[in-house]
Amino acid sequence: MDKPIKSAGTSAEEIITWAEDHKIETCFDRAERLKPCPIGETGACCRVCHMGPCRLVGKNAEEEAMGVCGATLPTVVARNFLRMIAAGTAAHSDHSRDMANTLLAVATGENKDFQIKDVKKLYKVAGILEIEFEGRPVNDVAKDVAETFLQDFGRQTGELNYCKRAPEKTQARWAKYGIAPRGIDREVVETMHRTAVGVDHEADHLLTQGLRTALADGWGGCMISTDVSDILFGTPKPVKAEASFGIFKEDEVNMVVHGHEPTLAEAIIDVASRPDMIEYAKSKGAKGINLGGMCCTANEVLMRHGIPTAGGFTNQELAIMTGLVDALSVDVQCIMPAITQVSKKFHTKIITTSHKAKMYDAIHIEHNENNPTKTAEEILKLACDNYPNRTKEGSHITKKETLIGGFSDEYIEYMLGGKWRASYRPLNDAIQSGRIRGVVGLAGCDNPRVPATGIHKFLVNELIRNDVLIVSTGCGSAACASAGYLKPEMALENAGPGLREVCEAVGIPPILHLGSCVDNSRILTIATAMAKEGGLSDEIAGMPAVGIAPEWMSEKAIAIGCYFAASGVPVIFGGESPVGASEEVTKIMTEVWMERYMGALHFEPEPEKILEMALNYIDGARDRLKLRKYEPGKFGAERILMDMAARREIKNAPHAGVGGINESEG
Ligand code: BF8
């Protein structure tokens, strides 16, 4: 009998097998060995005080069962869930604060290593924030923008500035149910307070604060981070890149940037292309310096520079096992502490760079925020110095895929409408006519508890086949890329005829890589633009659109799922439900949220059911909007006939039958 696969990435699976043969442990082995705690998994363990932990299981598993203080199952489950939202929001938003501080330092001249790259975006943001920009020095405008953003973290009264970017009806729902976020830090702190022992005990009341906190993440932390990164480093536009382990080069210094904040990575990119640094690499016997990314830093630098990605979360140990990574620098979030242990078996140097994050057995070179060039030089020299230490040890698996990424919301609007009339009209029209059935945001992590990246792969294939346009972010994008689905020709070949017709007419692929996890804010911006364009829903709620995070594992994903639900989008997560122990909490997050916000958060472990639920939501929204009923195969008939004829010709041609469209190298 074939052994079950651990990763759906073919190269990843080969390295996992190599690791097994060489007795090197990975997260896949640990996931097999460590079963999730069944009490914590469903949210039934309360550890907010030291009279417990109280485990509301067994005889204690009724909704009215109580912990020592009297906290019931719905209270405990809701509190645990809220703390996940708070942690996720804190992570995105603290990253975002760093970005705003960098913008301020650049504007005041404290940081001379970066300049404002996208003045147009700065002015756009200034306009939204009602900051005067015409005729003023760019850095003065940037300073005002940065300071206004920074105020939103500590805001004590009023709402976040970016709330006003949402459609009016969406804002009205937030006002009606009291979830318009105030300061970002304030919401996180209040959530932590309310979930402390003996404070807020009513599940619905708690979850309402959870949504307010999540909105502070989406329309605050994430959106600010996206905008500042665009202002400082450029708004992405389509760019060709590569994915998977084949991005590493045998004869060059391989330097990998891993984590989330793009600042140091941008400096590393600059320094790595400098002639003196290339000469330094050559002096160590390498032909040059090859940069690669991992996780969301990869998405940031891929979107703006076409730097290749070694993949998402579950690829990090495996990348080291190629034996080709000379140095791997990390900052914050989603960095497995296991990588330093794996690196001991190879020559790879792991470098921590954030003052917030250290790891056992790593080298710490602290990112000098006002002089990132200096830190980048030190890191790159260390990578070059380590190149001669490379041995033959390692899997040396080097397959890769090409991809197109770089789809900012600005660029999608431009592609759809053209330079002089940038607009989402063609997208709305295509949805109205039924050429495009709906839109899915495919986001979130890859997870070693399932065949990693496999559910992403299944869903993209099925969704585009069903004429659903996909916008992807985070490790979801890396999963699509490694499977070859970010190659426009492969995606078009697999897309339904209506979706394919629209994509070919407009010149976009059926799966649009929008960036990192904080760039989920770009999806909010797109949904808002679609609502304002007219012809569909006049708010985010009610659109034929769904969010899916099929392999999520991080608390950040929970914060994201909740800000989409509160903005009016039904969201489906894979895996067991972290609120599964309480029927009341589950009902609030599905039925009550649907009634109030037309958004919901479901947990569904079966990939086929996730697909079915997503399509049902999309078709239900089409019905409510009285759009033409979606009919598979109705459009693009001419194209199908042409394709069939072309295929017949190819089949009959000499040398036919080599390769297949579904074959993926990654
Ligand atoms: O923020 S998708 S594993 S890398 S949490 Fe992390 Fe999940 Fe990847 Fe980026 Ni997002």
pLDDT tens track for 492-510:
999 999 999 999 988 899 9
pLDDT surpassing 60 at residue 588: yes
pLDDT tens track for 254-276:
999 999 999 999 999 999 999 99
The pLDDT value recorded for residue 507 is 87
The pLDDT value recorded for residue 665 is 42
Q: 440 CB less than 6 Å from ligand 1?
A: no
pLDDT tens track for 635-653:
876 655 555 555 555 444 4
**Hey, which of 93, 554, 560 would you mutate to test ligand 1's pocket, going by the most ligand atoms within 8 Å of its Cβ?**
554
Can you list the alpha helix ranges (DSSP code H) found in 434-545?
454-465, 474-482, 488-494, 497-506, 520-533
pLDDT tens track for 178-228:
999 999 999 999 999 999 999 999 999 999 999 999 999 999 999 999 999
Confidence of residue 57 (pLDDT cuts 50, 70, 90): confident
Q: What is the DSSP string of 218-277?
A: IIIIIHHHHHHHHHHH-----EEEEESGGGS-TTSEEEEEEES-HHHHHHHHHHHTSHHH
**What is the rounded average pLDDT of the residues 536-543?**
97
Which helix (H) or strand (E) segment is 593 a member of?
Answer: helix 593-597
HSE-CB of 507 using CA atoms within 13 angstroms: 9
Residues 114, 373: contact at Cβ < 8 Å? Answer: no
Could you tell me the pTM of the whole model? 0.94
Distance 476 CA to ligand 1 centre (A): 9
Q: Which residue has the higher pLDDT, 419 or 553?
A: 553
Distance 74 CA to ligand 1 centre (A): 28
Q: Give the separation between CA 392 and CA 332, rounded to whole angstroms.
A: 31
**What is the rounded average pLDDT of the residues 512-523?**
97
Atom of ligand 1 nearest to the CA of 474: 2
Per DSSP (E only), the strands in 117-249 are 239-243
**Which residues 6+ apart lie within 8 Å of 596 measured at CB?**
173, 176, 177
Confidence of residue 164 (pLDDT cuts 50, 70, 90): very high
The pLDDT value recorded for residue 643 is 56
Distance 595 CA to ligand 1 centre (A): 30
Q: Give the separation between CA 509 and CA 513, rounded to whole angstroms.
A: 9
610 token code pair: 């996730």
pLDDT surpassing 90 at residue 419: no
Q: Are strands 54-55 and 45-46 parallel, antiparallel or unpaired?
A: antiparallel
Radius of gyration of the chain (CA): 24
Q: 556 CB less than 6 Å from ligand 1?
A: yes
pLDDT surpassing 60 at residue 663: no
Distance 456 CA to ligand 1 centre (A): 14
Q: Give the separation between CA 564 and CA 523, rounded to whole angstroms.
A: 9
Measured between its terminal Cα atoms, the distance across the chain in Å is 25
Nearest protein Cα to ligand 1, atom 6: 334
**What is the rounded average pLDDT of the residues 608-614?**
98
Q: Give the separation between CA 653 and CA 160, rounded to whole angstroms.
A: 62
Peptide bond into 53 cis (omega under 30): yes
Q: 91 CB less than 6 Å from ligand 1?
A: no
CA 607 to chain centroid: 19
108-112 long-range contacts (CB < 8 A, ≥24 apart) are: 108/139, 108/143, 109/139, 110/370, 111/369, 111/370, 111/371, 111/372
| Stated length of the chain | 666
Q: 335 CB less than 6 Å from ligand 1?
A: no
Atom of ligand 1 nearest to the CA of 560: 10
Residues 35, 482: contact at Cβ < 8 Å? Answer: no
**Hey, which of 299, 313, 336 would you mutate to test ligand 1's pocket, going by the most ligand atoms within 8 Å of its Cβ?**
313
**Hey, which of 302, 315, 334, 521 would you mutate to test ligand 1's pocket, going by the most ligand atoms within 8 Å of its Cβ?**
334
Distance 207 CA to ligand 1 centre (A): 24
Distance 474 CA to ligand 1 centre (A): 6
Nearest in space to 494 (alpha carbons), one of 354, 380, 612, 643:
643
The mean of the pLDDT values for the chain is 93
The pLDDT value recorded for residue 664 is 43
Which helix (H) or strand (E) segment is 621 a member of?
Answer: helix 607-624
pLDDT tens track for 4-18:
899 999 999 999 999
pLDDT tens track for 217-239:
999 999 999 999 999 999 999 99
Q: 549 CB less than 6 Å from ligand 1?
A: no
Q: Give the separation between CA 315 and CA 447, rounded to whole angstroms.
A: 10
- % of the chain with per-residue pLDDT over 90: 88
Residues 518, 96: contact at Cβ < 8 Å? Answer: yes
**Which residues 6+ apart lie within 8 Å of 13 measured at CB?**
5, 6, 7
Distance 518 CA to ligand 1 centre (A): 9
**Hey, which of 300, 331, 445 would you mutate to test ligand 1's pocket, going by the most ligand atoms within 8 Å of its Cβ?**
445
pLDDT tens track for 396-405:
887 999 999 9
pLDDT surpassing 50 at residue 657: no
Q: Which residue has the higher pLDDT, 85 or 65?
A: 85
640-643 long-range contacts (CB < 8 A, ≥24 apart) are: 640/497
**What is the rounded average pLDDT of the residues 441-464?**
96
The pLDDT value recorded for residue 415 is 83
The pLDDT value recorded for residue 627 is 97
pLDDT surpassing 80 at residue 294: yes
The pLDDT value recorded for residue 3 is 80
Q: 334 CB less than 6 Å from ligand 1?
A: yes
pLDDT tens track for 33-54:
999 999 999 999 999 999 999 9
Q: Is 557 helix (H, G, I), strand (E, B) or coil?
A: helix
